[in-house]
Structure 1
């Protein structure tokens, strides 16, 4: 027996559907227009600072002798990289044996267990995600205060896992000291620019390190090369993918910062005075 076709919708039902679609379209359009991104003068200054940091880091990275001025911050970013490996290992059921930082701008995390499909890319992607979050927080003084506390805890955890070598201990304690000191400069306003710099540095370092290891020098012992051997593909392919993801994180951090923190500098200073205020 042939199936009986359903009855056509009534005119009232068609009218209700059209009204609902029109209402949804109007509501969506209104919300999008209300939530359109606008950039005020304070945010323009922040964007200018991010651009200046980007240019300065790119220049200092390649200039002989002067490039050593970035060395302390490179070590901080490497600490983020190794912390990403360690955290991913713990979250996937593994155990972190030790973390060490190398004076030649390297680092290693000794792990037992964990999911290698997660722990291998978590170094690059973890540090770039941290960079994006710091850029996001750098748009606001109070958010920068919160970020400095979280970063300080992460550094101390890295020190807990770290080997007791002078470089690891000195780098982490110097980073924590820098963050604490900035709380007392211009009522923590200086902290915002330090958080921004570390965020930009972390985001760019992930991209540069991937390109340097996999495209310019083709290092055989990189995270991407190990990942390619275990899960297929080429190290260059995975490096490009991770670089794109890192850049997407950075752009997302900037856009989110603009959307979330529209306050003027004066409003930020007033809010900062109410959140763990300092005398200076």
Structure 2
């Protein structure tokens, strides 16, 4: 009960150095070729969650989500093979981590760091219901456990710092997969990527969708940075 009460109470903003440290650690995680292959699973969870959510909201029938050890994932839904519903579903993946990160920063700016962590747990548990493979279950359980341990046992400043790290990682981590994807597309190694599926659905070139997703990610990152570093120290 104490955790729930704390989640809905505003907490004092952490010191400025905590915000800077969290942002720097998030950037290092994204840029590190050693850390990124592990951390990228979090981006994949958010990506596939975006597909799944929009599939349900657009009236499609969600069959399930699979997360793979190579950081790829797939969301399967059924419904009309063309039209706004399937286009929105396919387009939802890449912007999802950025939008979640921006929403998290908004809550952090309002002093709701504990709520950010609890909402992350809620989203992970919701994803667990639709996961259809063992590795996906393992990824979600481990991610949930880490957040719960910090929520329960870490002091307020550490919780706020970790919540800030998550938000910054989502904002920055959403951009690197787009760079990697475009490299694969240039080598014709990603014929079934989201942008190429959208190209077939809309007759707009795949490069258009890559640029659109990139602009969305950059806009969210810029908005998040403005909110993050405008907090009173």
- Does the 8 Å CA contact 1:137/1:195 hold for their aligned counterparts? no
- Does the 8 Å CA contact 2:19/2:161 hold for their aligned counterparts? no
Q: Does 1:217 align with 2:184?
A: yes
Q: How does 1:24-35 map to 2 (within 5 A)?
A: none
Of 183, 190, 200, 2:168 maps to 200
Q: Does 1:245 align with 2:216?
A: yes
Q: How many Å apart are 1:82 and its aligned residue?
A: 0.6
Of 78-87 and 227-236, deviating more is 227-236
Q: Does 1:234 align with 2:205?
A: yes
Q: How does 1:67-106 map to 2 (within 5 A)?
A: 67=34, 69-106=35-72
Match of 1:117 in 2: 87
Q: How many Å apart are 1:58 and its aligned residue?
A: 4.2
Q: 2: CA distance between counterparts of 1:222 and 1:206?
A: 16
Q: How many Å apart are 1:197 and its aligned residue?
A: 2.2
Computing the radius of gyration from Cα coordinates, the structure with the larger value is 1
Q: How does 1:131-150 map to 2 (within 5 A)?
A: 131-139=101-109, 142-150=111-119
Select the structure with the greater relative contact order (CA < 8 A; seq sep ≥ 6): 2
Extract unaligned runs of 5+ from structure 2. 1-12
1:11-41 CA distance string (max 9 Å, x none): xxxxxxxxxxxxxxxxxxxxxxxxxxxxxx9
What secondary structure does 2:74 align onto?
Answer: strand
Q: How many Å apart are 1:252 and its aligned residue?
A: 1.2
Match of 1:13 in 2: none
- Does the 8 Å CA contact 1:139/1:192 hold for their aligned counterparts? no
- Does the 8 Å CA contact 1:135/1:250 hold for their aligned counterparts? no
Match of 1:108 in 2: 74
Q: Tell me how many residue pairs correspond in the alignment.
A: 213
Match of 1:190 in 2: 158
TM-score, scaled to structure 1:
0.69
Q: How many Å apart are 1:174 and its aligned residue?
A: 1.2
Q: Does 1:169 align with 2:137?
A: yes
Q: How many Å apart are 1:247 and its aligned residue?
A: 1.2
Q: How many Å apart are 1:110 and its aligned residue?
A: 0.5
Match of 2:25 in 1: 53
1:188-241 CA distance string (max 9 Å, x none): 432222222222222223211112112x11121111111111112221221011
- Moved runs in structure 1, 4+ residues, more than 4 A? none
Q: 1: CA distance between counterparts of 2:36 and 2:107?
A: 22
CA RMSD of aligned residues (A): 2.3
TM-score, scaled to structure 2:
0.81
Q: 2: CA distance between counterparts of 1:240 and 1:160?
A: 33
- Does the 8 Å CA contact 1:94/1:112 hold for their aligned counterparts? yes
Match of 1:12 in 2: none
